[in-house]
Amino acid sequence: MEVIKHDIIVFGAGATGLRAAVEAQRFSNNVAVVSKVHPMRVQSTMATSLNAAFREGDNWEDHVFDTVKGSDYMGDEDAITYLCEHGKEDTLELERFSLLFSRDPDGGFTKKTNGSGGQRFPRSIFTADRTGHTIVRTLYGYLQNTGVTIYDEWYVTKIIVEDNVVRGLTCINLKNGKMYYLHARVVIVCTGGYGQVYYPRSTNALSTTGDGMALSFLAGTRLLDMEFVQFHPTSLFGTNILMSEACRSSGAYLRNNAGERFMSKYAPEKIELATRDVVSRGIQSEIELGNGIDGKEYVHLDLRHLGAKKILHYLPKNRELAIRYIGRDMITDPIPIQPAQHYSMGGVEVTLDCESRVQGLLAAGEAACVSVQGANRLGGNSVLETIVFGKRAGARAGALAKDMSEGRVPLEQIGAEEARITDILNNSNGKDHGLAVKRELGRVMNSNVGVFRRGEDIAKAIELVRELRERATHVAVNQRSSLVFNNELVDRLELDNMTMLAEMIATCALNREESRGSHFRRDFPQRDDEKFGVHTTITQDGKGGFTLGTKPVVHIKHMPAVRTY
């Protein structure tokens, strides 16, 4: 395997990874980014806006409180404080990279009507409803003028570690079919969430399979809060493509079969603008009560009262999506929507400086858990996290890389990994198709570890996921002549990661016998701060499995209180 040496490698080329790379290259002239899809194809392109407290009349301390409450008091207040305090500065700094946020004719930043779910002030800042794409495009453009090397369409198979110090990444270059080892002093994991574990009922891109999270765990980091899976209330029925929260913050209503705005039952004050977990549970409850449209598994998102002008101004792309993917025009028709997996609150445990327990291995963004999002994330805070902590991780990596030695190239481990991949390529004689196993995994997770959970269902899920983990090792690789875009092999490797993460999600969900944020147990419907007001940690147990533990939550000014909307 060819060895290529860098100082800092960013694993993942989404908003977090690109921002980290942009920052890291200020400190080092040997930075690389590696990603299994091209930077312009990442899931971050699907994001619509981000939040920051930058307007007159708003202040970041309010944003802290909104986020702490939104997280159902599971978010670490020091991390949240850092996020909100630096929100304005780091967000507006993006404009230096050729991005421009939408403005009004008078030059002020265009405002959405209301704050997004769970926020008391309109904090959104955006470029039409394509902010994610614009951030990625402009950061990618910026990187073209730096010395950063981008290894796009390289699939990372392992994070190699020696004596708890990171060494580098073994990768398959999908374009030429060769394997490479990328050696580094510091690796930043920015690979996003694990959404496809809930395939197909996830708003995530099909490429979002949690590889970085899983590989970091296998490299020795701890994962945190895996049980907290965010279900976004408004995904299009059928394709589960996201109808952005911007619809609701622009004034949309949710209606059941009887035409009622049923959310007033579940969130009397905020109604449709309660947090995502509250709204998802509201919709799911209505569906289970039989109040879905025509008794089916969806309700209506109604924007007709907003009028064509407002819709065309604020929601042009969402309207296009609804027209193209479900054939309805939000100006004249209600849109069928249902909850779907959307965000992974849990991830690699890191400090405020984005460092994990493995020396030289950092993580940021959705792949990490600092924890900023706690048990539930507010809309717009995810992209904010990518920018603020992407930047911080890049800066930290730059400082670390100066101190850390290059380390030796771990030839034995590289050889072993090459042999492992070659073996999978040549000896996968099973009959299963990777996508079929993925679908089965999604079915198990959606049925048993979804919006509403119950102990016995989760226990069943754990058993089924273990079987699927075994079944994944029998996924067929029929095309054996090369590794070039060998999606069978990639499906198999992704499944190894996905099934492991799924088992963790279920195990942690079973362990947490309370309801908090997005984790709702029918058998334990109350929040229990005394027993469960702590993070759930997951570590390798040394025997190929994992053990659970706890970690205290940081509370500074805002102590856990009753959470209603």
Chain positions contacting another protein, by CB under 8 A: 37-38, 40-43, 45-46, 96-98, 100-107, 110, 127-128, 130, 133-134, 137, 140-142, 144-145, 175, 177, 205-207, 239, 241-242, 317, 320-321, 324-325, 327, 433-436, 439, 476, 478-479, 481-482, 484-488, 491
Give min distance, CB of 316 to another protein, in A: 9
Q: Over the range 493-529, which residues count as b (16 or more CB within 10 Å of their CB) and which as e?
A: bbbbbbbbbbbbbbbbbbebebbbbbbbbeebeebee
DSSP conformation letters of 121-133: S--EE-STT-HHH
**CA–CA gap between residue 203 and residue 196 (Å, rounded):** 9
Give min distance, CB of 146 to another protein, in A: 9
Q: Of the candidates 160, 158, 165, 154, which has an alpha carbon nearest to the alpha carbon of residue 214?
A: 158
Helix (H, G, I), strand (E, B) or coil at 167: strand
User: Cβ distance 52 to 88 under 8 Å?
Assistant: yes
51, exposed or middle or buried, with CB in 10 Å at 0-12, 13-18, 19+? buried
Residue number, 81 or 235, with CB nearest to another protein: 235
**CA–CA gap between residue 73 and residue 564 (Å, rounded):** 12
- Single-letter residue type at 144: Q
Give min distance, CB of 220 to another protein, in A: 29
User: Cβ distance 228 to 238 under 8 Å?
Assistant: no
Residue number, 54 or 485, with CB nearest to another protein: 485
Give min distance, CB of 296 to another protein, in A: 16
Give min distance, CB of 521 to another protein, in A: 32
Gyration radius of the chain's alpha carbons = 22
User: Cβ distance 460 to 149 under 8 Å?
Assistant: no
* Six token digits for residue 57: 């009349």
Give min distance, CB of 450 to another protein, in A: 21
Give min distance, CB of 203 to another protein, in A: 9
Residue number, 124 or 256, with CB nearest to another protein: 124
DSSP conformation letters of 440-508: HHHHHHHHHBSSEE-HHHHHHHHHHHHHHHHHHTTB-----S--TT-HHHHHHHHHHHHHHHHHHHHHH
* Six token digits for residue 506: 């279920």
Among residues 276, 492, 512, 563, the one annotated as catalytic is: 276
Residue number, 179 or 241, with CB nearest to another protein: 241
Residue number, 177 or 533, with CB nearest to another protein: 177
Residue number, 107 or 542, with CB nearest to another protein: 107
Q: Of the candidates 516, 248, 276, 242, which has an alpha carbon nearest to the alpha carbon of residue 377?
A: 276
Clarify whether 185 is annotated catalytic. no
- Name the strands in the sheet holding 8-11, side by side, starting at the edge strand that comes first in the sequence: 149-152, 31-35, 8-11, 186-189, 361-363
Residue number, 3 or 40, with CB nearest to another protein: 40
| Residues forming the active site | 276
